[in-house]
Amino acid sequence: MMEEKQLKKILAIILILGLLAVLLYGLWPYLSALLGAFILFVIFLPFYRTLRARWKLRPGLAAMLIILLSIAVILLPVSFLASVLIKEIPVAIAGIQAQAGWWSGLTGWLPQLDAVVLAEQISQAGSTASRLLFGTLSVIGNQLISYVLMFFLLYFLLTADEDKLSRTVFEVMPFGRDNTLKLQRELKKVTRATIITSGLIALLQGSLLALGFVVFGLTAPVLWGLVAVVASFVPMFGVSLVWLPAALLQLAQGDIGAGIGLLAWGLVISSVDNILRPYIQKRVGQIHPLVSILGVIMGLSLFGLVGLIIGPLFLSYFILMLKMFKEEYIIS
């Protein structure tokens, strides 16, 4: 009898894992939308509760207002950036390809470099950048379905009965009540730490770099500002990966004023991270730099640009699950 029960248990586990594999395979293209809905839910839940409690709005109306707010905060800036990038990308590519002539002149004092080979490499780099950037815009266009799914899920997460939702979470999670509550708190803490700390600092640094490009007369400021937002997630180096080569290039081309100005402005931009990050982390928590960089690498390869946020979160959630498993089933 015991052997039969154990066999059924094993078969049930196999069946559940098989169905889970099929479910993940079907939902994998929209995994970013599922995680995005959860992230927005964590961010906007306090606002939703305020609308319900203070303004006495019905759940459906309050949820729709939150969705409209999130669209205004997220999609409108993305649409604006896309329209600007369409204009700036050809200019940036032309500027990259134009550097072939400058590299050719460089061989006057570096005779071991082949000017023709360098020119070809610069030209190929420009072509590759063109394909990557236009491919990125194409991906943004293909994300419309994911956005619809994300806001659809957000609506039902907000309007769901919180007590019933909590009971469902407790029933589904393979941990005890105390560890499940702890996991919920940690997930919210990690989500807010990632969004507020990394996200806001990256947006601020990207905006400041774009402003610097405008002031010192460099081309495609919005494009390189967006690149700086991405670079901001890279620990240690950050936005210096963008402003330092740009400043050195201006100096090498003889534009001393722009080069020195951009160097000074770049140091100011990088100091934003050193000043704000510790201050914010004291209030919302922090993520280990190794988790950040591995999460960014993984997120970019799996989800594209949105992986900058989702990647570190996904990896942090996985580490939290391992900690809960250790506390629940190993230490105890």
The 3-state secondary structure of the chain reads CHHHHHHHHHHHHHHHHHHHHHHHHHHHHHHHHHHHHHHHHHHHHHHHHHHHHCCCCCHHHHHHHHHHHHHHHHHHHHHHHHHHHHHHHHHHHHHHHHHHHHHHHHCCCCCCCCHHHHHHHHHHHHHHHHHHHHHHHHHHHHCHHHHHHHHHHHHHHHHCCHHHHHHHHHHHCCCCHHHHHHHHHHHHHHHHHHHHHHHHHHHHHHHHHHHHHHHCCCCCHHHHHHHHHHHCCCCCCCCHHHHHHHHHHHHHCCCHHHHHHHHHHHHHHHHHHHHHHHHHHHHHCCCCHHHHHHHHHHHHHHHHHHHHHHHHHHHHHHHHHHHHHHHHHHHC
In a domain, 79, yes or no: yes
Which pLDDT belongs to residue 21?
A: 87
Which pLDDT belongs to residue 265?
A: 94
* Residues 222 and 277 reside in one and the same domain: yes
* Residues 93 and 197 reside in one and the same domain: no
Which pLDDT belongs to residue 106?
A: 46
In a domain, 169, yes or no: no
pLDDT band at 113 (very low <50, low <70, confident <90, very high): very low
183-188: average pLDDT: 80
* Residues 89 and 137 reside in one and the same domain: yes
Q: Which of 297, 150, 280 is CA-nearest to residue 230?
A: 297
pLDDT at 297 over 60: yes
Which pLDDT belongs to residue 109?
A: 44
Specify the number of domains making up the chain. Answer: 2
pLDDT band at 303 (very low <50, low <70, confident <90, very high): confident
Which pLDDT belongs to residue 309?
A: 76
In a domain, 15, yes or no: no
* Residues 77 and 211 reside in one and the same domain: no
Answer with the one of 113, 137, 163 that is the final residue of a domain: 163
Q: Report the percent of the chain where pLDDT is more than 70.
A: 75
In a domain, 243, yes or no: yes
* Residues 121 and 148 reside in one and the same domain: yes
Higher pLDDT, 185 or 97: 185
Q: Report the percent of the chain where pLDDT is more than 90.
A: 11
In a domain, 41, yes or no: yes
The tokens for 113 are 């470099």
Which pLDDT belongs to residue 329?
A: 75
* Residues 51 and 142 reside in one and the same domain: yes
Q: What's the rounded Cα separation, in Å, for the pair 283 and 122?
A: 46
* Residues 304 and 229 reside in one and the same domain: yes
Which pLDDT belongs to residue 107?
A: 47
* Residues 231 and 86 reside in one and the same domain: no
**Residue-number span of the structural domain to which 51 is assigned:** 31-163
* Residues 130 and 104 reside in one and the same domain: yes
In a domain, 20, yes or no: no
154-173: average pLDDT: 81
Which pLDDT belongs to residue 308?
A: 73
In a domain, 5, yes or no: no
* Residues 196 and 331 reside in one and the same domain: yes
Which pLDDT belongs to residue 92?
A: 66
Which pLDDT belongs to residue 192?
A: 76
Which pLDDT belongs to residue 217?
A: 87
* Residues 112 and 199 reside in one and the same domain: no
**pTM strictly above 0.75:** no
Answer with the one of 163, 195, 223 that is the final residue of a domain: 163
61-70: average pLDDT: 91
